């Protein structure tokens, strides 16, 4: 027998199947992680067996040297998926395969954890032994302990009862009184069991759950879009769908944005399904990650909860994938292969004839368009559970506040609502949209803005550190005393950050306890969870934060949400700015009044009449959708077209500029040839210019932006671009092709 092996080297030149002979005594099957001799000198390299065959045409064939793991680490379905990814994302086969296994497994950097255990030897008489150990008290107590346990006892356990007894254990083994074994244990992340009652589903919830169930039963690979307002009980629908999935003998994956993957979220699932759950996310240690993955691979877990990359989890009987908050941009991978978790999920679900559920209060325009066209099944939860009302939203025009002489962070309205909320002993969340609204340092006299020396970006002022920091490269600079440009002393920081909001709260309500959550306060590993649970325990009345507090949290006592500046992201130079603003505002507003107390939201804005702000006020997704889809159509933005971006970066400015401009010219003429006469208008845009942030970390950046109309010729156009990119990627020190870039800076 012969095996086709993908060698674990990420290089285009060797990214193909190599044939090896399988030695008689080696039980190699598809998916095995193996060692093979490779290249000149036959050094062994790791590789993955992707196929077996009976014959081979090559005269000189080398043997597979070794099997690294007892079981195949890849499922045939995953190998087929990687093969598909190679073509769809134009990535290396091996890069796609690497996504399917824990990173530390490669190079054998992580091993199974074994513990030594001992048990009583069956051939001895305990009484006689006790007698013989009269003069060895430690050995005697160890022996008694093991006898009392009556089963295998691990060395750490024995040491916990009889400290420092390892030598005694060894002596007992030598004497043949105890027999030694090793046992593999799984390093398990700690899981909170959050007791949650099992509700009787509302009519809308059970309707949705039934549809999901029949899709699973039909096995036609359906995608279902669950559009449910905030607090409509989507999680309860997921739990029911998973229970049904298990009943059907299948297994499930639940994807949650990394930031919402808190012990509370996992706790709700663990409470329902117990030990059959495995979690995968970046906060696990390498050992825990490896062991959770192995529990999944070895069939010891049926439900996987995880962030984006958990979409690759090796479940053999996969029947259901749920993607919560499906509109989140974190489902797009930012490194090669730049996959979209939703696309991978849809592909897997088609292969296994299961069902894919996309859930959101604010579905992406793309998903909702597909639902309206019938490509996806639309499931709706239009109301909150238990007749709870959606929060009341009040809009405050901050221009009026200024005219009335109020130039503080809080409008009179927000201050009033906050005071009512605190008087009633309830909790409030204050949200500040940090993106595009950092605190920059500028001179009021000459307009000079303090910028990073390496990046073409303004420095952000950090009050607690009393200095400025570049958010792209991390460089720090002191706050200048005078303007470096005009030498006057009018230089100071502008803009609002979480720190300023916190100060403003303390100015009005000196005795109120606050918590602050942003990327600065969240540097340490466990700090995010600590802060959330402190707020849960009501150790503070006000939680102030950025995007991090907008997602998914369920705080029953929060009745007020204040949005300090609602429109800061509205006018960013990105066609998705309105969509993201609407999603964010709806999400934050959705944090208020989730339990029995009704919620209020105050939106402070400089553009009270902007349609997006009005739709957010009414939490009216459908009107938002119809408005925004027309805007996109007018300008032929996605979903009517597709954006591609190619970024060129080099330390030398001229190199980056020339590389970009020459590339653009050549690519354009190639695209025009391929698209020919009938596809002439498919190429809507191809511009080459300096990137919006022209320098990052000392690298000059140029970019090509391409916009292609979505027609049947799109696939061919994409292939042309990727092939062209492959043969021209080395024109400067960094080139990157991005399909559907999430950021355009
Ligand atoms: P969503 O994810 O749609 O915002 P959740 O699933 O978090 O909403 O549910 C909101 C709240 O309603 C939760 O506290 C949940 O426990 C509760 N809930 C869900 N379903 C029901 C039900 N059928 N009856 C009563 N309460 C429910
Ligand atoms: Zn910088």
Of 598, 579, 206, 630, nearest to 392 (Cα)?
Answer: 598
pLDDT at 568 over 80: no
Q: Cα(386) to centroid of ligand 1, in Å?
A: 9
User: Which atom in ligand 1 lies closest to the alpha carbon of residue 388?
Assistant: 12
Architecture (CATH level 2) of domain 641-739: 2-Layer Sandwich (3.30)
What is the pLDDT, as a whole number, of residue 525? 63
pLDDT at 439 over 80: no
User: For 655-673, what is the mean pLDDT?
Assistant: 94
- Between 447 and 176, the higher pLDDT residue: 176
Tokens linked to 524: 């340490």
Three-state secondary structure of 417-439: HHHHHHHCCCEEEEECCCCCCCC
Q: DSSP for 497-535?
A: -HHHHHHHHHHHSTT--EEEESTTTT-STTHHHHHHHHH
User: For 524-532, what is the mean pLDDT?
Assistant: 77
Protein residue closest via CA to atom 5 of ligand 1: 233
- Between 193 and 700, the higher pLDDT residue: 700
State the ligand closest to the CA atom of 476: 2
348 and 311 Cβ atoms separated by less than 8 Å? yes
243 — pLDDT class (breaks 50, 70, 90): very high
- Between 107 and 617, the higher pLDDT residue: 617
290 and 284 Cβ atoms separated by less than 8 Å? no
- The residues spanned by each domain of the chain are 2-108, 113-185, 203-386, 392-439+495-633, 641-739
Q: Hey, which of 206, 225, 236 would you mutate to test ligand 1's pocket, going by the most ligand atoms within 8 Å of its Cβ?
A: 236
Residue 386 backbone dihedrals phi, psi, to 5 degrees: 55, 30
User: Which atom in ligand 1 lies closest to the alpha carbon of residue 228?
Assistant: 3
C-alpha distance from residue 366 to each of 225, 229, 481 (Å): 11, 18, 50
| Residue 178 CB neighbours (<10 A) | 26
517 and 510 Cβ atoms separated by less than 8 Å? no
Protein residue closest via CA to atom 15 of ligand 1: 233
Q: Hey, which of 385, 388, 619 would you mutate to test ligand 1's pocket, going by the most ligand atoms within 8 Å of its Cβ?
A: 385
| Residue 693 CB neighbours (<10 A) | 15
436 — pLDDT class (breaks 50, 70, 90): very low
Q: Cα(496) to centroid of ligand 2, in Å?
A: 21
Please list the alpha-helical segments (H only) found in 330-484. Answer: 341-352, 365-372, 398-403, 412-423
CATH number for the domain running over 392-439+495-633:
3.40.50.300
pLDDT digits (tens, 9 = 90+) for 184-225: 888 888 776 767 788 899 999 999 999 999 999 999 899 999
Residue listed under structure tokens 């939703």: 342
709 and 640 Cβ atoms separated by less than 8 Å? yes
Q: Hey, which of 233, 358, 384 would you mutate to test ligand 1's pocket, going by the most ligand atoms within 8 Å of its Cβ?
A: 233
First to last CA, the chain: 52
Protein residue closest via CA to atom 20 of ligand 1: 233
Protein residue closest via CA to atom 12 of ligand 1: 233
What is the pLDDT, as a whole number, of residue 527? 78
pLDDT digits (tens, 9 = 90+) for 318-352: 999 999 999 998 899 988 888 999 999 999 999 99
579-584 own/partner pairs: CB under 8 Å, 24+ apart: 579/364, 579/365, 579/628, 580/329, 581/612, 581/616, 582/362, 582/612, 582/615, 582/616, 582/624, 582/628, 583/327, 583/362, 584/433, 584/547, 584/550
- 149-161 burial by CB neighbour count: b if 16+ within 10 A, else e? beebbbbeebeee
Burial (CB count within 10 angstroms: exposed 0-12, middle 13-18, buried 19+), residue 447: exposed
Question: Which element (helix H / strand E) includes 292?
Answer: helix 286-297
Tokens linked to 61: 């064939």
Q: Cα(202) to centroid of ligand 1, in Å?
A: 10
Name which CATH class applies to 203-386.
alpha beta
pLDDT digits (tens, 9 = 90+) for 112-171: 888 888 888 887 888 888 888 888 889 998 988 888 877 778 888 888 888 888 899 899
- Between 60 and 205, the higher pLDDT residue: 205
Q: Hey, which of 231, 242, 264, 390 would you mutate to test ligand 1's pocket, going by the most ligand atoms within 8 Å of its Cβ?
A: 231
User: For 533-548, what is the mean pLDDT?
Assistant: 90
* CA atoms of 414 and 509, how far apart (whole Å): 13
Tokens linked to 576: 């998705």
Tokens linked to 18: 């190599």
Please list the alpha-helical segments (H only) found in 150-247. Answer: 155-161, 166-174, 203-218, 234-247
User: Which atom in ligand 1 lies closest to the alpha carbon of residue 234?
Assistant: 3
* CA atoms of 246 and 263, how far apart (whole Å): 23
Of 586, 591, 589, nearest to 552 (Cα)?
Answer: 591
Picking from 92-106, 565-579, 598-612, which range would have the lowest pLDDT averaged per residue? 565-579
Q: Cα(327) to centroid of ligand 1, in Å?
A: 20
What is the pLDDT, as a whole number, of residue 520? 67
User: Which atom in ligand 1 lies closest to the alpha carbon of residue 381?
Assistant: 3
Q: Cα(67) to centroid of ligand 2, in Å?
A: 47
Protein residue closest via CA to atom 18 of ligand 1: 233
174 and 121 Cβ atoms separated by less than 8 Å? no
β-strands 440-443, 491-494: how paired? Answer: antiparallel
Q: Cα(698) to centroid of ligand 2, in Å?
A: 8
What is the pLDDT, as a whole number, of residue 309? 95
Protein residue closest via CA to atom 23 of ligand 1: 201
Picking from 301-310, 332-341, 427-436, which range would have the lowest pLDDT averaged per residue? 427-436
* CA atoms of 656 and 660, how far apart (whole Å): 6
Identical fold for domains 2-108 and 641-739, yes or no, is no
320 and 215 Cβ atoms separated by less than 8 Å? no
Of 321, 235, 253, nearest to 293 (Cα)?
Answer: 253
What is the pLDDT, as a whole number, of residue 300? 94
* CA atoms of 709 and 707, how far apart (whole Å): 7
pLDDT digits (tens, 9 = 90+) for 285-297: 888 899 999 999 9
State the ligand closest to the CA atom of 235: 1
Residue listed under structure tokens 């750490």: 156
What is residue 84's three-state secondary structure? Answer: helix
Protein residue closest via CA to atom 19 of ligand 1: 233
User: Which atom in ligand 1 lies closest to the alpha carbon of residue 268?
Assistant: 16
Site residues for ligand 1, CB cut-off 6 Å: 196, 199-202, 205, 228, 230-236, 385-386, 554, 594
pLDDT > 90 fraction of the chain, expressed in percent and rounded: 50
Q: Cα(268) to centroid of ligand 1, in Å?
A: 11
Q: Cα(270) to centroid of ligand 1, in Å?
A: 16
Strand segments, DSSP code E, in 640-698 are 641-650, 683-696
Q: Cα(705) to centroid of ligand 2, in Å?
A: 24
Protein residue closest via CA to atom 4 of ligand 1: 231
395 and 605 Cβ atoms separated by less than 8 Å? yes
CATH number for the domain running over 2-108:
3.40.1440.60
266 — pLDDT class (breaks 50, 70, 90): confident
User: Which atom in ligand 1 lies closest to the alpha carbon of residue 229?
Assistant: 3
User: Which atom in ligand 1 lies closest to the alpha carbon of residue 590?
Assistant: 4
What is the pLDDT, as a whole number, of residue 7? 95
User: For 491-495, what is the mean pLDDT?
Assistant: 76
What is the pLDDT, as a whole number, of residue 349? 97
pLDDT digits (tens, 9 = 90+) for 612-625: 999 999 999 999 99
Q: Cα(730) to centroid of ligand 2, in Å?
A: 25
Q: Cα(537) to centroid of ligand 1, in Å?
A: 20
């Amino acid at each position: 027998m012969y095996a086709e092996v993908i060698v674990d080297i990420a290089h285009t030149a060797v990214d193909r199947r190599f044939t090896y002979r399988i030695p008689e005594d080696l039980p190699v099957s598809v998916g095995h992680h193996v060692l093979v001799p490779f290249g000149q000198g036959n050094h062994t390299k790791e590789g993955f067996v992707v196929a077996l065959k009976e014959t081979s045409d090559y005269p000189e064939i080398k043997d597979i040297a070794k099997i690294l793991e007892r079981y195949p680490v890849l499922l045939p379905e995953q190998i087929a998926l990687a093969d598909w990814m190679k073509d769809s994302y134009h990535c290396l086969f091996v890069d796609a395969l690497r996504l399917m296994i824990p990173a530390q497994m490669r190079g054998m950097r992580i091993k199974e954890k074994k513990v030594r255990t001992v048990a009583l030897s069956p051939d001895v008489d305990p009484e006689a032994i006790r007698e013989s150990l009269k003069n060895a008290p430690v050995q005697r107590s160890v022996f008694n302990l093991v006898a009392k346990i009556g089963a295998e006892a691990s060395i750490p356990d024995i040491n916990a009862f009889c400290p420092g007894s390892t030598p005694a254990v060894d002596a007992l083994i030598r004497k043949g009184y105890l027999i030694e074994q090793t046992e593999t244990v799984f390093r398990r992340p700690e899981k909170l069991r959050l007791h949650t009652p099992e509700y009787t589903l509302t009519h809308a919830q059970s309707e949705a759950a039934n549809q999901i169930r029949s899709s699973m039963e039909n096995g036609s690979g359906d995608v279902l879009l669950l559009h449910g307002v905030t607090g409509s009980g989507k999680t309860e629908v997921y739990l029911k769908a998973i229970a049904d999935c298990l009943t059907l003998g299948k297994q499930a994956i639940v994807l949650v944005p990394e930031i919402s993957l808190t012990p509370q979220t996992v706790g709700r699932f663990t409470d329902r399904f117990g030990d059959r759950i495995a979690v995968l996310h970046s906060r696990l240690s390498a050992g825990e990650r490896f062991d959770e993955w192995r529990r999944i691979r070895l069939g010891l877990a049926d439900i996987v909860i995880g962030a984006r990359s958990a979409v690759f989890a090796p479940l053999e009987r996969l029947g259901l994938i749920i993607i919560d908050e499906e509109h989140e941009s974190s489902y797009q991978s930012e490194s090669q292969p730049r996959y979209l978790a939703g696309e991978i999920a849809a592909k897997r679900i088609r292969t296994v004839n299961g069902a894919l559920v996309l859930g959101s209060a604010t579905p992406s325009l793309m998903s909702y368009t597909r639902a309206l066209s019938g490509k996806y099944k639309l499931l709706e939860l239009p109301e909150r559970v238990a007749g709870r009302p959606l929060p009341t939203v009040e809009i405050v025009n901050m221009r009026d506040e200024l005219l009335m002489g109020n130039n503080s962070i809080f409008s009179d309205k927000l201050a009033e609502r906050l005071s009512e909320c605190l008087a009633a002993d309830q909790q409030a969340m204050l949200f500040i949209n940090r993106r595009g609204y950092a605190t920059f340092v500028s001179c009021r006299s000459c307009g000079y803005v303090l910028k990073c020396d390496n990046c073409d970006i303004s420095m952000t002022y950090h009050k607690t550190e009393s200095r400025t920091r570049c958010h792209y490269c991390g460089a720090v600079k002191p706050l200048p005393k005078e303007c470096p440009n005009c030498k006057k002393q009018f230089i100071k920081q502008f803009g609002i950050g979480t720190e300023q909001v916190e100060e403003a709260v303390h100015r009005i309500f000196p005795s109120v306890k606050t918590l602050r959550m942003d990327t600065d306060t969240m540097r340490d590993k466990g700090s995010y969870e600590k802060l959330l649970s402190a707020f849960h325990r009501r150790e503070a009345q006000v939680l102030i934060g950025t995007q991090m507090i907008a997602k998914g949290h369920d705080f029953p006592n929060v009745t007020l949400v204040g949005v300090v500046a609602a429109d800061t992201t509205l006018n960013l130079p990105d066609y998705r700015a309105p969509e993201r603003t609407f999603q964010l505002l709806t999400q934050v507003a959705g944090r208020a009044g989730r339990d029995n107390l009704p919620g209020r939201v105050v939106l402070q804005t400089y553009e009270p009449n902007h349609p997006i702000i009005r739709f957010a006020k009414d939490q009216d997704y459908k009107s938002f959708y119809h408005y925004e889809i027309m805007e996109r159509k007018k300008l032929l933005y996605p979903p009517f077209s597709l954006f591609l971006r190619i970024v060129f970066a080099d330390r030398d400015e001229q190199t980056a500029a020339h590389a970009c401009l020459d590339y653009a010219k050549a690519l354009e003429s190639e695209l025009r040839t391929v698209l020919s006469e009938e596809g002439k208008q498919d190429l809507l845009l191809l511009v080459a210019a300096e990137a919006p942030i022209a320098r990052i970390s000392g690298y000059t950046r140029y970019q090509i932006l391409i916009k292609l109309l979505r027609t049947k010729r799109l696939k061919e156009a994409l292939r042309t671009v990727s092939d062209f990119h492959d043969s021209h990627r080395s024109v400067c020190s960094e080139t990157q092709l991005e399909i559907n870039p999430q950021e355009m800076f």
